[in-house]
Amino acid sequence: MCGIVGYVGARAAAPVIVDGLARLEYRGYDSAGIAVDNQGTLDIRRSVGKLSGLTAVLATAPVQGTMGIGHTRWATHGDVTEQNAHPHRDASGRVVVIQNGIVENYLELKNDLIAEGHTFVSQTDTEVIAHLLGVHFATTGNLAEALRRTAAMLKGGNAIVALSVDAPGTLVATRIGHAGGVVIGIGEGEMFVASDVPAIVDHTRNVCFLEDHDIAELTATSLVIRRPDDSVVDRPITRLAWDPVSIERGPYKHFMLKEIHEQPRVLTDVLRGRIDLEAGTVRLDDVLLDDAGLRGISSIVMTACGTAWHAALVGKFMIEQIARVPVQVDYASEFRYREPVLDAKMLLVAVSQSGETADTLAAMELARSAGVRTLAIVNAVGSQATRVATAGSLMLHAGPEIGVASTKAFTAMLVGQYLLALRIAQARGVLTPATMRPHLRALIALSSQVGDVLNDGTDYAALAESLQHTSSALFLGRQLSYPIALEGALKLKEISYIHAEGYPAGEMKHGPIALIDDRLPVICIAPQDASYDKMLSNVSQVKARGGRVIAITSVGDAHLAEQAEAVITVPASNPWLTTVLTSIPLQLLAYATAVRRGADVDQPRNLAKSVTVE
């Protein structure tokens, strides 16, 4: 998540904004900036690098004013430069915008604006928002109305905050889709807006959360929230409890639920600075292998534990099918003792959320001692895996994952591996810019699609009701869906304590079919891909024996409804990224079942978030 902070009130805005951004810095960033209305003049300061860079700039060139906005950025479109740092101005220079998210249709909008004579100084999608806002503000004279009209033109997931020196004392904000949270802090004679609660909680505990497509207009003493149809709506004001844990949890009952719902934003963050739709290219600056290095890889060994191992099984499909490089996958606890045959032309890829898992680190050391380059795909910044990896670390930028059951880190791993497969394919000439672009468009659309799955209205509480007393469950999938079946089973067993098993659907007839009866829930992951027809046969085999089927399939499916007691559908994507979409219902099903059984969701018995011992 980028850091976003806005302030309007009686105090100097800059210290409030910078302190707020510092409270969000756990996510890291590559540049920062601030804009303050200094009695009709827009004072803007920006810097590349960490927030300390901006603080140093402000020390020598302070800004004055009681209304402003500030931002910390990960490059999404365009390099990490001061020019690309937020805030961004419109053509007049009197409107300024900050954003968290991705404007999927920014290219089309930018070309239309250029055709109307606009010129751009950055490579960002955010500058396009600023120019659109300036145009609508010039015609309407009302900043909130201008934002409403601008938001209607954008596709994607965004959190946007803006101000204009021609709308003194007024901040506007909107949330589009599910990628970017926007929280409003209601103070005494002052208002705050931020992308997450920690930036606000020192000043007020009265907050409200914008819903998808809300447009908020704030002054020091007023808050008006409108819908796209211009109707005014009231959002409930939540009084935050004062304990840091619940503050970090925000409106969610458990960290796991919060992290499940953070995935649209996380899947935007993991792309930052790594894809260029215009150029049709992928760049992984934190992977220390250039094109020649990537071309020289003879084969890849992926090693991990638990959920990360399931991710690596998907990674094998991605890298082999997209980049055409042979991949073997090993549990780290197996790899390190099996005397593997290794050579220096291989690459070991260690996948780990914590970067501290003892078996995974040991596997990395074993490979390194054999002269094999080691790459980490990891979430935790500064973890041991990032220090021992010799070929760099592909950071997942998912933010701290507190719930012991991994959710947002898992889907971030899937996307991180997909980016690695694309990068290797690009280096080896397997993908050209033209054949890369469909992959990039699917990636850009993913965040919104995940948000759609999260908000599709499925009654997981009812499903949990039907599962809560079962003593066992079977998860079936084929090809790319087989690792997802394994992951679904792990999610259910580790937080609800119901025994669950993932199995390749084609193997059911070789034994597990003996388990089928009218009590055993069989969760079938059957998206409309090359294995779909075979999965339909497996579902029929289960039904023929009186089994219970819960199906996860593609939107528009017409076959499974009569076979399954419940069908959950996910939007269409390519086969590799469909694994992200089919994972979401499994996370929510496991969560709802565990809650129904009164389990300790965030800290299940016997488990630890990071297994740093063998």
Q: Does residue 609 carry a catalytic annotation?
A: yes
The stretch among 86-94, 341-349, 404-412, 535-543 that binds ligand AGP (CB under 6 A) is 404-412
Q: Tell me which residue has its CB nearest to ligand AGP.
A: 306
From 88, 96, 121, select the one nearest 41 (Cα to Cα): 96
From 464, 449, 448, 438, select the one nearest 586 (Cα to Cα): 464
C-beta of 155: minimal distance to ligand AGP in Å? 33
Residues 482-541 that bind ligand AGP (CB under 6 A): 494
DSSP string of 385-439, one letter each residue: HHHH-SSBEEE-------SSS-SHHHHHHHHHHHHHHHHHHHHTTSS-HHHHHHH
The stretch among 177-185, 400-408, 452-460, 577-585 that binds ligand AGP (CB under 6 A) is 400-408
What CA–CA distance (Å, rounded) separates 480 from 581? 12
Q: Which is nearer to ligand AGP, 386 or 553 (CB)?
A: 386
| Residue 611 in contact with ligand AGP, rule: CB under 6 A | yes
The stretch among 43-51, 183-191, 399-407, 453-461 that binds ligand AGP (CB under 6 A) is 399-407
The stretch among 42-50, 87-95, 164-172, 353-361 that binds ligand AGP (CB under 6 A) is 353-361
Binding-site residue total for ligand AGP (CB under 6 A)? 15
Cβ(113)–Cβ(14) under 8 Å?
no
Edge-to-edge order in the sheet of strand 3-8: 41-48, 31-38, 67-73, 3-8, 191-194, 183-186, 206-209, 238-239
C-beta of 405: minimal distance to ligand AGP in Å? 4
Q: Which is nearer to ligand AGP, 133 or 313 (CB)?
A: 313
| Residue 305 in contact with ligand AGP, rule: CB under 6 A | yes
The stretch among 247-255, 299-307, 426-434, 458-466 that binds ligand AGP (CB under 6 A) is 299-307
The stretch among 109-117, 350-358, 438-446, 507-515 that binds ligand AGP (CB under 6 A) is 350-358
| Residue 122 in contact with ligand AGP, rule: CB under 6 A | no
C-beta of 360: minimal distance to ligand AGP in Å? 5
| Residue 353 in contact with ligand AGP, rule: CB under 6 A | yes
Cβ(194)–Cβ(247) under 8 Å?
no
C-beta of 603: minimal distance to ligand AGP in Å? 11
Q: Angle at Cα 234 formed by Cα 232 and Cα 236, nearest 5°?
A: 165
Q: Angle at Cα 136 formed by Cα 133 and Cα 139, nearest 5°?
A: 150
Q: Which residues contact 356 (CB under 8 A, 6 or more apart)?
A: 380, 383, 384, 385, 610, 612
C-beta of 490: minimal distance to ligand AGP in Å? 6
- Token pair of 100 as six digits: 């968290």
What CA–CA distance (Å, rounded) separates 151 from 509? 52
Q: Which is nearer to ligand AGP, 466 or 610 (CB)?
A: 610
Give the chain's largest Cα–Cα span.
Answer: 77
Q: Which amino acid is at 157?
A: G
From 385, 382, 320, 402, select the one nearest 351 (Cα to Cα): 385
Q: Does residue 2 carry a catalytic annotation?
A: yes
| Residue 273 in contact with ligand AGP, rule: CB under 6 A | no
| Residue 281 in contact with ligand AGP, rule: CB under 6 A | no
C-beta of 599: minimal distance to ligand AGP in Å? 14
Of the candidate residues 99, 354, 386, 393, the single one contacting ligand AGP (CB under 6 A): 354
What CA–CA distance (Å, rounded) separates 194 from 207? 10
| Residue 383 in contact with ligand AGP, rule: CB under 6 A | no
C-beta of 312: minimal distance to ligand AGP in Å? 10
Cβ(254)–Cβ(495) under 8 Å?
no
Catalytic position from the list 2, 208, 305, 524: 2
Of the candidate residues 174, 406, 458, 583, the single one contacting ligand AGP (CB under 6 A): 406
| Residue 405 in contact with ligand AGP, rule: CB under 6 A | yes
**Residue 497, number of CB atoms within 10 A of its CB:** 15
Q: How many helices (H) and strands (E) are present in the chain, helices listed first?
A: 19, 27
> Contact positions toward ligand AGP, by CB under 6 A?
305-308, 352-354, 357, 360, 404-406, 494, 610-611
- Positions marked active-site: 2, 609
